[in-house]
Chains A and B, each alone.
Chain A
């Protein structure tokens, strides 16, 4: 006779204070586990897909296919899987979702913790070519046109933060500007008198620090670390042209951002280095433009360099530090540690030639 027990269980359950659900958190975790399954479950796809052609690879175990971990804002914010634009259509969440940008062309896209920031304008030139307008595609799929308009500047975001930053050089004076993309308002404008005379600046935003490379008309360069919250400017000897985790690319080396200490150095002269967002792997492009070679290297060592087949378009990193390449009918994502790849069929509605003309992956800039 368990009626009394059953009734009590229901009565006590009814009295439980149920918190409201967070649909956004569930969706984030759902997408994360879906992406993880694609990666860990696709070891067999390594040969079939053929995107990675390593030898002697020690593939990582598939792991717990059903493991679901809460999203860690410090490492996962802004991770929308394979993300790119073709024409004025943004494809994101491993090309499972799309949004249309209302403008003539997309210039480049950036991951932020508030969503995907799309820079667009009259043409698809990145840092030049007239006004640079912005739209934020939020995790809910809304496309919000920002009031922000810039021109002839290079932008940077930190995927874990809701900011976009750039260096504004006018009359020989450099100012670092930081704009909150969710609130659509400027939050900092930091003069950098140490860079007087600069006509253009690139920067990499990491937390509160902008690593600035200021270019002068006389061909000189100055390298600075600017804390945009405090205004403190620290001259640096090393240039930083790309960042990932707490590391950066400096010439043909990977260095610690804080100390400047070299972590890894490329044996290839004139190689192009593309650091993963988590700073653990670097994509090395060598061989020149006629016969390019691609290799993924674990910055901390522990595994052999992984040679890659030349992609149809190009490789780029997702915000979650997977390698991505896109063709007109498939998106391939690969785990740089294991070499496991997954090919996702898509129909982008363009020919391969049209794709090459208009594809804009996350983090890439193009000039014409």
Chain B
């Protein structure tokens, strides 16, 4: 069995990976407290699974995979709200003509269904290919593509075509 890391070694890993993991978690969840809980959970699972992780060098990628899997699990188990309340836009309205009136990207992400939000973050922030996103979310590649298409259409409505042009969505396919 590989030698588990010392507290000091694992502490260095936590400090090195925390900012990046936190940003992904925040984009996925849209809430600071939940993002912090998710990152702590992912790193705790990484610590507890050291027999699989084996080395400090492999730990960041392992933690990121655990984070995404855990978020997907939360979406399934916690009865995650399909849409998180925001004050920016009522339902079903046309995109604001004045760009200054449009919601921020984070607020717009919060208007997406959890899995749609996840595919957008994983594909366009974490730059994962469709196959990896499908594996992380435990769904088919076809589902990832259809969810991506739906998510981009919704974001286009919320943010305007300048941000999400009609031709979007082919990357990584």
A-to-B contact residues, CB < 8 Å? 1-2, 4-6, 8-10, 12-14, 16-23, 25-27, 29-34, 37, 66, 68, 70, 96, 140-141
Q: Cβ of A1 and Cβ of B41 under 8 Å apart?
A: no
| B125-139 to A contact mask, C-beta < 8 Å, 1/0 | 101000000000000
Q: Cβ of B19 and Cβ of A18 under 8 Å apart?
A: yes
Chain A to chain B contacts (Cβ below 8 Å), 16 pairs? A2-B171, A5-B164, A9-B105, A9-B120, A9-B121, A12-B104, A12-B105, A12-B106, A19-B22, A26-B43, A26-B47, A27-B7, A30-B44, A30-B45, A34-B47, A37-B48
Q: Cβ of A26 and Cβ of B44 under 8 Å apart?
A: yes
Q: Chain B residues with Cβ under 8 A from A21's Cβ? A: 14-15, 18, 39
Number of residue pairs spanning A and B whose beta carbons lie under 8 angstroms apart:
107
- Once bound together, how far apart are the Cα atoms of A1 and B105, in whole Å? 17
Q: Cβ of B124 and Cβ of A9 under 8 Å apart?
A: yes
Q: Cβ of B125 and Cβ of A13 under 8 Å apart?
A: yes
- Once bound together, how far apart are the Cα atoms of A273 and B30, in whole Å? 51
Q: From residue 92 to 123 of chain B, which have CB atoms closer than 8 A to chain A?
A: 104-106, 120-121
Q: Cβ of B22 and Cβ of A18 under 8 Å apart?
A: yes
Q: Chain B residues with Cβ under 8 A from A68's Cβ? A: 41, 44-45
Minimum CB–CB distance from A30 to chain B (whole Å) comes to 3
Minimum CB–CB distance from A252 to chain B (whole Å) comes to 40
Residue B165 is within 8 A (CB to CB) of chain A in the complex: yes
Which residue of A9, A30, A32, A33 contacts B27 across the interface (Cβ within 8 Å)?
A9
Q: Which of A10, A16, A140, A141 has the most CB of B within 10 A?
A: A16
Q: Chain A residues with Cβ under 8 A from B48's Cβ? A: 30-31, 33-34, 37
Minimum CB–CB distance from B158 to chain A (whole Å) comes to 12
Residue B10 is within 8 A (CB to CB) of chain A in the complex: yes
Residue B167 is within 8 A (CB to CB) of chain A in the complex: yes
Take A4-B162, A5-B124 as given contacts and tell me if A29 and B40 are in contact as well, using a CB distance cutoff of 8 Å. Answer: yes
Take A12-B106, A29-B41 as given contacts and tell me if A2 and B124 are in contact as well, using a CB distance cutoff of 8 Å. Answer: yes
Which residue of B11, B32, B127 contacts A23 across the interface (Cβ within 8 Å)?
B11
Q: Chain B residues with Cβ under 8 A from A19's Cβ? A: 22, 32, 36
Q: Chain A residues with Cβ under 8 A from B47's Cβ? A: 26-27, 30-31, 34
Closest B residue to A19 by CB, please name it.
B36
- Once bound together, how far apart are the Cα atoms of A107 and B73, in whole Å? 47
Take A30-B48, A34-B48, A37-B48 as given contacts and tell me if A16 and B37 are in contact as well, using a CB distance cutoff of 8 Å. Answer: no
Minimum CB–CB distance from A24 to chain B (whole Å) comes to 9
Minimum CB–CB distance from A215 to chain B (whole Å) comes to 43
- Once bound together, how far apart are the Cα atoms of A362 and B70, in whole Å? 35
Further 14 A-B residue pairs, CB within 8 A, beyond A18-B18, A30-B46: A1-B168, A2-B152, A2-B164, A5-B124, A12-B105, A12-B106, A21-B18, A21-B39, A27-B11, A29-B40, A33-B44, A33-B48, A66-B73, A68-B45
| B1-39 to A contact mask, C-beta < 8 Å, 1/0 | 000100100110011001100111011000010001101
Q: Chain B residues with Cβ under 8 A from A34's Cβ? A: 47-48
- Once bound together, how far apart are the Cα atoms of A22 and B125, in whole Å? 25
- Once bound together, how far apart are the Cα atoms of A56 and B15, in whole Å? 49
Residue B155 is within 8 A (CB to CB) of chain A in the complex: yes
Residue B163 is within 8 A (CB to CB) of chain A in the complex: yes
Q: Cβ of A13 and Cβ of B27 under 8 Å apart?
A: yes
Q: Cβ of B125 and Cβ of A66 under 8 Å apart?
A: no
Q: Chain A residues with Cβ under 8 A from B106's Cβ? A: 12
Q: Cβ of A5 and Cβ of B163 under 8 Å apart?
A: yes
- Once bound together, how far apart are the Cα atoms of A141 and B22, in whole Å? 28
Closest B residue to A6 by CB, please name it.
B124
Q: Cβ of B163 and Cβ of A4 under 8 Å apart?
A: yes
Q: Chain A residues with Cβ under 8 A from B60's Cβ? A: none
Take A2-B169, A5-B155, A5-B164 as given contacts and tell me if A30 and B43 are in contact as well, using a CB distance cutoff of 8 Å. Answer: yes
Take A9-B121, A23-B15 as given contacts and tell me if A96 and B4 are in contact as well, using a CB distance cutoff of 8 Å. Answer: yes
